[in-house]
């Protein structure tokens, strides 16, 4: 546990006033990246502090090392590749592999990227969550899972706000809520992780959704 202090000098004597206890993450951001969530080290690698207060560097010469390793390993083109099950996958900037689900694969392959489509017999079809297709005369009037999610929320487009949080309806019908950190950035930082509050103090959003401001003398 680290503590931040304010130094007072009075008649030649130095006094220290303990202000607040910093987490390992906050201490790392303050001492290593000068208050910024990301920074570049001496060899040009992009770095960030993790929750344990350790510095993690993942970019070098403006290229993500882990991302390029993933591309090379999977013979990916522009970040995308197809696995043995013909699922479309992509490499993230952390080197992880994310693949489409059965529903998304059905829309891409059977529907040619369209939610409502016709099969070779001319029947109207949609994709089900299990990756299979359902066809019939009334299928064209059926809402997609995403459209149903939006309709249930009483909105037409993403994102939308409920109870102070921003939500997004995904293609599979799932309603995803923003994290506490994302809410802080949206509401307090107006889209920026670091910002100046109404009192003119430099502040930052924490992973918990709270804000931490640096108070000067």
Q: Model confidence over 25-83: pLDDT tens digits?
A: 778 878 887 777 667 777 777 777 766 777 777 654 344 456 667 777 888 765 678 88
What residues have CB less than 8 Å from 68, skipping those under 6 apart? none
33 vs 45: CA distance, rounded Å: 13
Both 160 and 186 in one domain: the answer is no
Highest mean pLDDT among 9-23, 66-80, 124-138, 153-167: 153-167
pLDDT band at 15 (very low <50, low <70, confident <90, very high): very low
Does some domain include residue 209?
A: yes
Asked if the structure places residue 44 within a domain, the reply is no
In a domain, 126, yes or no: no
Q: Is residue 36 part of a domain?
A: no
Report the DSSP beta bridge partners of residue 198.
Answer: none
Strands 160-162 and 124-127 turn out to be: unpaired
Can you read off the two tokens belonging to residue 58?
A: 């993942």
Q: Identify whether residues 173 and 189 lie together within a single domain.
A: no
- On average, the pLDDT of the chain sits at 79
Q: What is the pLDDT of residue 78?
A: 58
Classify residue 93: in a domain, yes or no: no
Distance, CA of 146 to CA of 215 (rounded, Å): 45
Q: How would residue 182 be classed by pLDDT, with cut points 50, 70 and 90?
A: very high
Q: Which domain holds residue 205?
A: 180-217
Residue 102 binned pLDDT confidence (cut-offs 50, 70, 90): very high
Q: How many domains does the chain have?
A: 2
Low-confidence winner among 30-39, 145-154, 207-216 (lowest mean pLDDT): 30-39
191 plus 173 within the same structural domain: no
Question: Does a structural domain hold residue 19?
Answer: no
Assess whether 214 and 185 both reside in one domain: yes
Query: For residue 171, is it within any domain?
Result: yes
- Structural domain contains residue 193: yes
**Does residue 173 share a domain with residue 185?**
no
């Amino acid at each position: 546990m680290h503590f931040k202090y304010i130094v007072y000098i009075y008649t030649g004597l130095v006094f220290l006033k303990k202000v607040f206890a910093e987490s390992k993450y906050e201490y790392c951001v303050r001492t290593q990246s000068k208050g910024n969530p990301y920074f570049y080290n001496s060899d040009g690698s992009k770095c960030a502090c993790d929750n344990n207060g350790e510095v993690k560097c993942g970019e070098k010469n403006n290229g993500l090392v882990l991302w390029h390793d993933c591309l090379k390993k999977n013979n990916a083109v522009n970040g995308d590749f197809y696995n043995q099950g013909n699922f479309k996958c992509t490499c993230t900037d952390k080197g992880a592999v994310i693949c489409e689900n059965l529903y998304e694969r059905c829309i891409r392959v059977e529907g040619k990227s369209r939610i409502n489509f016709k099969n070779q017999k001319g029947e109207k079809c949609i994709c089900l969550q299990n990756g299979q297709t359902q066809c019939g005369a009334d299928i064209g009037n059926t809402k997609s899972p995403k459209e149903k999610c939006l309709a249930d929320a009483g909105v037409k487009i993403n994102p939308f706000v409920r109870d102070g949080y921003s939500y997004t309806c995904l293609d599979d019908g799932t309603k995803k809520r923003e994290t506490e950190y994302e809410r802080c950035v949206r509401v307090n930082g107006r889209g920026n992780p670091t910002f100046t509050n109404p009192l003119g103090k430099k502040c930052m959003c924490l992973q918990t959704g709270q804000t931490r401001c640096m108070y000067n003398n």
